[in-house]
Amino acid sequence: MPNNRTSSHRRPIALMSLGHACVDVYQGAVAALVPFFVSERAYGYAAASGIVLAASLLSSLVQPLLGALTDRWAMPWLLPVSTLLAGGGVALSGVMGSYPLTLAVAALSGIGVAAYHPESARVARGASRGSHIAMGWFSLGGNLGFAAAPLVVSAVIATGGLHASPLLAVPALVGAALCVAALRAVRAPAAATAATRAGRAGGRDDWASFGRLSGAIVCRSIVFIGLSTFISLYVRQRTGGGEVSGTVALFVLYLGGAVGTVAGGRLASRYSRVTVVRWAYALTVPAVAGLVLVPGPLLYLFVVLTSAGLYVPFSLHVTLGQDYLPRRVGTASGVTLGLAVSIGGVASPLIGAMADATSLQTALAPLIVLPALGWLLLRPLHEPDLPEAVTGRPVSSTQPETGAAAPLRP
């Protein structure tokens, strides 16, 4: 049963979740297009991963800046505009005749994604009144968009080739309409302003904890984007399957986030968020090892486990970041959803260059270590105090949302 805070805001959160899905189709679409760029344009691993870098790099730089701006001014108009920008860039990527132009429109899509997330996270926080479960549903929408991306891209591009990419603008048109409806339902400016004022009135910024959390998210980001970029090609090699086997693997990697994100919100309502995040990082280490080292169809099991480990902490990263920086909710959202997430794309060309020089398996092997490094960064963290004005009641830093005692650290 959802609590009263979640159920009373069900409609705006549902609309925002659906809009989030439409936007994050384009985060997943860039990686899903990589095999088609390799096959139709004969790009090498490094060149193909450069397209992912183009989308990620500007997104990484822009999101913290926009987060800082939304701390000062509510900008709800960014939601529909950024959705159209994200879709437009991907839609144009298949019809650009040169590699530099392809990089440019991929970067345009990255800017659109960057512009969406900080303000949307602020609006969702205001609508959810700090509920971990409600924020989990909001994040779920983005994860479903990621999961749908390889299927949508494959259906369009496998049928009509890269020149059919303008059809990929359809989710952006739907998403922009959903964003407008969500803003009307939640009264975004008032909600965002109320959340910001509540944070400023109720807490102190803990930059040290926020820095450690961001470092762990960077480790998670490199693993996730590295696998997103190359898993389709890798699974084809390891299983001997064709394009379908690679598309299925990417779909499974993304779809596991649907279960993982909701599970993360519910586990955080029973245990502390920090404990749940630590366990997720610890369990991701053997999961990634199995994905990289185990051959044959059994590899798909480790794709599922890796997906769960990477996604269980996803929405918890956002709420923890916001609660570590209660006076700078937009900045926290921009970093946890932006810089620290998309920065993993910077590592993709390095992975691609190593794959060109050695093998794809050798290039992916270092990803096994990164979740362990993230776990080490998370070890000293504590559960932040939640401002009473945001949650509607005081919550102790040692108590989860339900009021049950938090377990010992892993």
Q: Containing domain of residue 90, as a range?
A: 4-391
Q: What is the dihedral of CA 200, 206, 210, 213, to 10 degrees?
A: -120
153-177 residue pLDDT tens: 988 988 888 889 899 999 999 999 9
Of 400, 121, 124, 127, which Cα lies nearest the Cα of 265? 400
* Cα–Cα–Cα angle for 388, 392, 397, rounded to 5 degrees: 45
Evaluate whether residue 96 is within a structural domain: yes
CATH number for position 31: 1.20.1250.20
Evaluate whether residue 98 is within a structural domain: yes
Residues 266 and 136: beta-carbon distance below 8 Å: yes
Q: Which residues pair with 395 in a beta bridge?
A: 386
Q: Which stretches of 77-168 are DSSP H helices?
A: 78-93, 99-128, 132-160
Count of structural domains, the chain? 1
Residues 363 and 351: beta-carbon distance below 8 Å: yes
DSSP helix/strand/coil, 386: strand
94-118 residue pLDDT tens: 888 788 998 899 989 988 888 888 7
Evaluate whether residue 402 is within a structural domain: no
251-273 residue pLDDT tens: 888 777 667 777 887 888 888 89
The predicted model gives 272-290 an average pLDDT of 93
pLDDT > 70: percent of the chain: 84
The predicted model gives 356-360 an average pLDDT of 87
Cβ count within 10 A of residue 408: 5
* Cα–Cα–Cα angle for 321, 322, 323, rounded to 5 degrees: 90
**What pTM was estimated for this model as a whole?**
0.70
Evaluate whether residue 186 is within a structural domain: yes
- Position 78 confidence tier, pLDDT thresholds 50, 70, 90: confident
State the pLDDT at residue 132: 66
Encode burial over 184-196: b for 16+ CB neighbours within 10 A, e otherwise.
Answer: ebbebeebbebbb
Provide the token pair at 365. Answer: 């092997």
DSSP letter, residue 336: I
Evaluate whether residue 112 is within a structural domain: yes
The predicted model gives 47-59 an average pLDDT of 79
Evaluate whether residue 19 is within a structural domain: yes
Evaluate whether residue 365 is within a structural domain: yes
Provide the token pair at 83. Answer: 């959705």
Evaluate whether residue 400 is within a structural domain: no
Of 336, 65, 68, which Cα lies nearest the Cα of 210? 336
The predicted model gives 278-285 an average pLDDT of 94
- Position 66 confidence tier, pLDDT thresholds 50, 70, 90: confident
The rounded distance, in Å, linking the Cα atoms of 406 and 9 is 27
Of 316, 305, 306, which Cα lies nearest the Cα of 381? 316
Residues 19 and 29: beta-carbon distance below 8 Å: no
* Cα–Cα–Cα angle for 76, 78, 83, rounded to 5 degrees: 125
